[in-house]
Amino acid sequence: MEKMPRKNKRKSLFTKLFSNFMVVLIIPLGLFASYYTLNGDRNQARYLKGQTSTIVKSDADTLSSVIEAYRHKAYLLSTDPLVISILQEDSLDANSPSSRKLYQLLFDVMKGDTYLASTHIISNSGKVRVSTHEFPEVYDLRYQGNDWDLGNVITQNEKASPTASTISITSPRVAETGRLVIASILRRVYDREGTVYGYLVVDIYSDALTADINKSLLLGEELLFDTSHYYATSLIHSEKHGTFEQFPLLAELKGNFSRNVSQFNDTILAIEPIEGTSLSLAGSISSVPFQQNLNQWLFAFGIMMGIGIVLAAFLSYFFSRTIARPIGNLALSMKAVEEGNLNTKGEDMAILEFAQLDHSFNAMVLQIISLLQITREEQANLAEAERQALESQMNPHFLFNTLNTIKALAKLHGEEEIYTITIKLGKLLRSTIDNHKSECSLKESMSLVDSYLTIQKIRFGDKLHVETQIEESCLEVMTPKLIIQPLVENSIVHGLEPKAGEWNISVKIRREESMVFLCIEDDGIGFPPGSLPTNLDDLANSTHVGVYNVYRRLVLKYGKQMTFSLTSQEGLGTLVTMSFPAGQ
């Protein structure tokens, strides 16, 4: 059964433009919005967990560095012989040299940190009380020695190691300077025998711990907590501190205080232990603001898609009208030209590209008119050339008949030179006027050169020395006619004739693999420096017509596969070399 031919479904320009605008404007937005709708929550949670973990890790390292610096200062002071001896004596005159040396030692060690921390020294009896600031009443062991006093880091850590530093955050308070104390470092002061004579306490103010944390302000809460006492204090909201019961997020961990990142409802929580202490840092981010931003983005995408659809429809209609009208007018003009009306001219268009198209159409019509006129003239010239060719066929016969008459008379009278010249001239003339073929073998070309040189040797006698060499493999290579004889003639006429003394000219042809190399060399007067152009195409406008004619025919025949070189030295001679494929 024969199939019905399918009709091409053509779409209007408006439909095509609208489809393209939808692809370019709407589909990317739709894909982007769909991606965020399907994967936004998951990617957002992954991103927030990564950010929270990174920030908390960095802040934990910062806190570790700060605490370690103050712990080292506490160690230096608690092991200093001056401090040990004063507490051992359990007395200190405020105006004594020992007192001045002690204060000098305190401020030297705490140099630069007096606004961020305070250092206090207390003897066991409480008689010696020294501080870089106003001595806190809470550390006065004469009156504050009860172990239930949560504000006293000394009494709260009586059972701690007597040699190690104790870091405590369970005693937050407002110092006498008005600054908030977040952490305290306690060291016992003892001699070499291990006898404890007193205590050294470094109170760390909140500014020392909070100045360089949460710089990105992404964390909504950051808690410093002690896993051994289940006590925490907020580094962001200074008024918040107490047991884990007051911090529901810490209670959600259910005792797992190792390094981890967890999500509880809308809150991301990261835990990072502080190296070298029993403390850990917890940081949290609420995902609610990020989710709100995501929802706003999705809403904005929806609005943009709606606007994009309306804009795509408007632009499609506008551009379709703008494009279709001039194209339709141009199509009508082309139809008129197709029907033979060459007087049709496209109208001026406001759009540059269409104006260029219209200009090209008008130029094409003018070119068609010009080509038709040229065709008519060429047909007339062809007829005239044919008539002249028929007439000129009689001239060669007259010349050959005349040469035959001269040859017969020369032989009759024994003029051998004239006889030889007429024979060689006849060969040259026959080769020149033979228009039936445009190519000949190198053997034929060398025969023609031999005829020409025979005539020249008769003319110039023994002063002309000729050397010709052609490899047997080159004899049947076909080339354009007359590529050697014109160059030999140039060598004799322009190079050798103006020279006094003997003349030498050589023609050598050899073959290397698939290439033929031809050299014509003379020892004539050569060319003056600068008289030969570097580009052989420039010979077309020079007096070297014969050389250019040979070069140009070789280019037309072989193209870039051939080479042609013309070199000369004034007073030494000229060398012409060329190469071309043997298989052409």
Q: Which residues pair with 118 in a beta bridge?
A: 203
Both tokens of 507, joined, read 């023609």
Domains and CATH numbers, the chain: 64-209 (3.30.450.20), 342-390 (no CATH), 455-581 (3.30.565.10)
Cβ-based neighbours of 299, under 8 Å, separated by 6 or more: none
Give the pLDDT score at 68.
Answer: 92
Q: What percent of the chain has pLDDT over 70?
A: 75
pLDDT in tens, 341-367: 777 766 666 566 667 777 777 778 788
Cβ-based neighbours of 65, under 8 Å, separated by 6 or more: none
Q: Which of 229, 241, 365, 285 has its CA nearest to residue 56? A: 285
Asked if the model's pLDDT at residue 31 lies above 80, the reply is no
DSSP 8-state code for residue 434: -
SS3 330: helix
**Using CA atoms, how far apart are residues 149 and 171, in angstroms rounded to an integer?**
9
Give the pLDDT score at 393.
Answer: 46
Both tokens of 254, joined, read 């259910």
Exposure string over 233-272, b if 16+ CB within 10 A, otherwise e: bbbbeeeebeebeebebbeebeeeeeeebbeeeebbbbbb
Top-ranked range on mean pLDDT: pick from 198-202, 436-440, 445-449, 567-571: 198-202
Cβ-based neighbours of 486, under 8 Å, separated by 6 or more: 546, 547, 549, 550
Q: What percent of the chain has pLDDT over 90?
A: 17
30 membership: H or E segment, kind and range: helix 27-78
Asked if the model's pLDDT at residue 417 lies above 70, the reply is no
Helix-helix angle 81-89:97-109, to 10 degrees: 140
Tell me the H-state helices in 79-205. 81-89, 97-109, 153-156
567 membership: H or E segment, kind and range: strand 563-569
Look up residue 387 and give its amino acid.
Answer: R
**Using CA atoms, how far apart are residues 307 and 310, in angstroms rounded to an integer?**
5
29 membership: H or E segment, kind and range: helix 27-78
**Using CA atoms, how far apart are residues 338 and 40, in angstroms rounded to an integer?**
61
φ and ψ of 193, to 5 deg: -80, -5
Helix-helix angle 352-392:288-338, to 10 degrees: 40
Asked if the model's pLDDT at residue 507 lies above 90, the reply is yes
Give the pLDDT score at 82.
Answer: 92
Give the pLDDT score at 201.
Answer: 92
Give the pLDDT score at 353.
Answer: 64
452: Cα within 13 Å, side-chain hemisphere: 25
Residue of 68 and 141 predicted with greater confidence? 68
Residue of 250 and 406 predicted with greater confidence? 250
**Using CA atoms, how far apart are residues 503 and 523, in angstroms rounded to an integer?**
7
Residue 269's alpha-carbon distances to 62, 246, 263, 492, in angstroms, are 19, 16, 6, 103
Q: Which of 320, 324, 304, 328 has its CA nearest to residue 18? A: 320
Give the pLDDT score at 504.
Answer: 92
Where residue 335 falls among pLDDT bands split at 50, 70, 90? Answer: confident
Where residue 370 falls among pLDDT bands split at 50, 70, 90? Answer: confident
Give the pLDDT score at 582.
Answer: 87
Residue of 129 and 309 predicted with greater confidence? 129
Where residue 238 falls among pLDDT bands split at 50, 70, 90? Answer: confident
Asked if the model's pLDDT at residue 422 lies above 70, the reply is no
In this structure, of 29-33, 314-318, 481-485, 506-510, the range with the lowest mean pLDDT score is 29-33
Surface-to-core class of residue 561, CB atoms within 10 Å of its CB (0-12 exposed, 13-18 middle, 19+ buried):
middle
Give the pLDDT score at 130.
Answer: 92
Where residue 334 falls among pLDDT bands split at 50, 70, 90? Answer: confident
φ and ψ of 520, to 5 deg: -125, 120
Asked if the model's pLDDT at residue 168 lies above 60, the reply is yes
**Using CA atoms, how far apart are residues 521 and 536, in angstroms rounded to an integer?**
18
Q: Is 203 left (phi over 0), alpha (psi -120 to 50) or beta?
A: beta
Where residue 390 falls among pLDDT bands split at 50, 70, 90? Answer: very low
Cβ-based neighbours of 45, under 8 Å, separated by 6 or more: 263, 268, 287
**Using CA atoms, how far apart are residues 66 and 543, in angstroms rounded to an integer?**
95
Query: Mean pLDDT across the chain, nearest whole number?
Result: 79
Residue of 88 and 374 predicted with greater confidence? 88
Asked if the model's pLDDT at residue 580 lies above 90, the reply is yes
Q: What is the mean pLDDT of residues 89-94?
A: 88
Helix, strand and coil content of the chain, in percent to the nearest 5, comes to 50, 20, 30
